[in-house]
Amino acid sequence: MDMTVSTSRQEEEAPDAGDFLLWILVWSELAAFGILLVAFMVAGIVQPDQFAAARQHLNAPLAAVNTAVLLTSGWQAARAARPDASRGEARLALVLAALLGFLFVVIKLFEYGGEIGHAGDEGYGVFFELYFLLTGFHLLHVLFGAQVLLLVGWRMERSNVILITTLWHVFDLIWIVMFPIVYLA
């Protein structure tokens, strides 16, 4: 009987073909956002005065709160992925992660409301075009990911929990890199 449990545990922890595809997805996400962040930084070097002026219209304190919301969501996702988490604990953690993801979206949309009026101002160069492209792309990832977190919480399967929580952490990582570059540089 111990051998059955041991074999079952090894199968559960053993890598499978899905791991390879997961890492392709992770690296493609990091590459896509990396390209956008490099474009943002290069434009900031080319147009330093416009970028400095445009940043004055961003709400960095609200973005910092949103960072805390997203990281707390990531913590919940990590709780769901723990090997010793019961189905109920994992389900609750996934739902909380998703709800915090939706809160991130709501706060970001509120933030956009104060910034959208400056988007067409030529005095800010391409700052707001790149800002909305970069943060909007991330926002769509968070919105989609939060929906998947709920779906996985509803139709619980360990491999899917690992998949979405890994991607969720990638979205966290991207935001952690993006926040200082966009708001604080």
Cβ atoms of residues 65 and 107 within 8 Å: yes
CATH number at residue 57: 1.20.120.80
Pair of tokens at residue 183 = 């708001």
Return the ∠ at Cα 63 (arms to 36 and 119), rounded to 5°.
Answer: 60
Low pLDDT (below 50) residues in the chain: 1-11, 14
Q: Which of 182, 107, 111, 115 is nearest to 142 (CA)?
A: 107
Confidence at residue 6, expressed as pLDDT on a 0 to 100 scale? 43
CA 103 from chain centre, in angstroms, equals 13
Taking the C-alpha atoms of residue 126 and residue 2, their distance in angstroms, rounded to an integer, is 63
The three-state secondary structure class of 42 is helix
Number of domains, the chain: 1
Q: pTM of the entire structure?
A: 0.86
Q: What is the pLDDT of residues 16-44, one digit of tens each?
A: 556 888 889 899 999 999 999 999 999 99
Confidence at residue 11, expressed as pLDDT on a 0 to 100 scale? 47
The three-state secondary structure class of 47 is coil
Taking the C-alpha atoms of residue 179 and residue 185, their distance in angstroms, rounded to an integer, is 9
Q: Which range of residues forms the domain containing residue 116?
A: 2-184
Confidence at residue 22, expressed as pLDDT on a 0 to 100 scale? 85
Confidence at residue 122, expressed as pLDDT on a 0 to 100 scale? 86
